[in-house]
């Protein structure tokens, strides 16, 4: 019981001192490949950790949209350690879902939006880093 109480006090202390992780830069859709199966791309997000504790980037909950239609997913390529006071590049993989190419052809627009959060964890706490990027691939 004492261990649980001590852990609760430590978690509350850390959560009060915690600062939001910051997106420094987003390197948009790169290495774009559009085929009959859809669109694939890479995306890089530079994240800064202003905290005194390291954070592990563990997931990406980001949706790829074509206009207002959910057209695909953005996934984390690999887990990344983000040291205290440091900056790291998070590599993401972008891919449209099956049938999205038809939507793309109907709309005649190539304006894609990646919107969601990158998820980090430290000391059992979940941290969400908002990510939003729009890019017109027809240019």
Domain spans, the chain: 20-136
Q: Are 82 and 19 in contact (CB under 8 A)?
A: no
Higher pLDDT, 21 or 109: 21
Which residue carries 């563990």 as its tokens? 58
Rounded CA-CA distance 36/62 in Å is: 23
25-29, 33-37, 77-81, 133-137: which is most confident? 77-81
Task: For residues 61-84, give the mean pLDDT.
Answer: 92
Write down the H helix ranges in the chain: 2-17, 100-107
Which is more confident, 112 or 100? 112
Fold of the domain spanning 20-136: Immunoglobulin-like (2.60.40)
């Amino acid at each position: 019981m004492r261990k649980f109480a001590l852990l609760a006090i430590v978690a509350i202390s850390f959560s009060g001192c915690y600062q939001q992780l910051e997106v420094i830069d987003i390197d948009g859709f790169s290495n774009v490949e559009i085929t009959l199966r859809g669109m694939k791309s890479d995306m890089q997000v530079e994240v800064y950790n202003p905290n005194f504790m390291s954070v592990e980037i563990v997931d990406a909950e980001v949706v790829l949209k074509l206009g207002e239609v959910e057209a695909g997913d953005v996934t984390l390529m690999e887990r990344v350690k983000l040291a205290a006071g440091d900056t790291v590049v998070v590599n993401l993989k972008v891919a449209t879902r099956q049938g999205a190419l038809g939507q793309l052809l109907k709309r005649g627009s190539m304006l894609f939006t990646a919107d969601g959060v990158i998820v980090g964890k430290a000391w059992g706490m979940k941290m969400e880093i908002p990510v939003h990027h729009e890019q017109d691939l027809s240019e």
